[in-house]
Structure 1
Amino acid sequence: MKVRQNKQVINKAIYLALGVNMEGQKELLGMWTSETEGARFWLSVLTELQNRGVNDLLIACVDGLKGFPDAINTV
């Protein structure tokens, strides 16, 4: 996605978290941008979701995200 930063337009990746509630409906849980996708970033995302009331993470579908396995094991 193109975003304006410091008076310049740059490309940034946007990370989405989608969930499925108990009724089977999809919900957008959040959107984040980050310069890196390491374990620290994913740990902050997962902690934020936990603090907002996400009780369980049963399935995680990711596309080779760096640091995600370490973060999910920590939470």
Structure 2
Amino acid sequence: MTFRPELLDELLNGYENPEDLLGNGGILKQLTAALVERCLNAEMKTHLEEQQAEPESDDKPARNRRNGHSKKTIKGEFGEAQINVPRDRNGEFAPIIVKKGQTRFDGFDDKILSLYARGMSTRDIQAQLQDLYGVEVSEDV
């Protein structure tokens, strides 16, 4: 599979030197943070949907909902990137792609480039995330 030229053109709009791609505020770092946040939000959506499917009982607290986000700094081959990790009201959400307490995120740059370089469809990306992280994500990713 290949990249759609329009997508590449959009990503590289304003590119002038390698720093724009690989530097501190470069495309790769921004893309990494954006993809991680999308995955986290998809995980939260799945988590809340699974809880909604459970029958209500008197001894259970009220239905769980989103409760904003917290900032987290992840470190990897791209340097450091700050991401927003979604929270739930009951504090039960346990992310898979970036676990609680995890700060190192090695090898993700290569995985991102692999996904995009192959021009993967949404279903292909979902399958890849399932293979890599064992997490099912919705089409919202």
What's the TM-score once normalised by structure 2's chain length? Answer: 0.21
Structure exhibiting the larger radius of gyration computed from Cα positions:
2
Q: Flag the structure with higher helix content.
A: 2
User: Bigger relative contact order, structure 1 or 2, given CA contacts below 8 A and separation 6+?
Assistant: 2
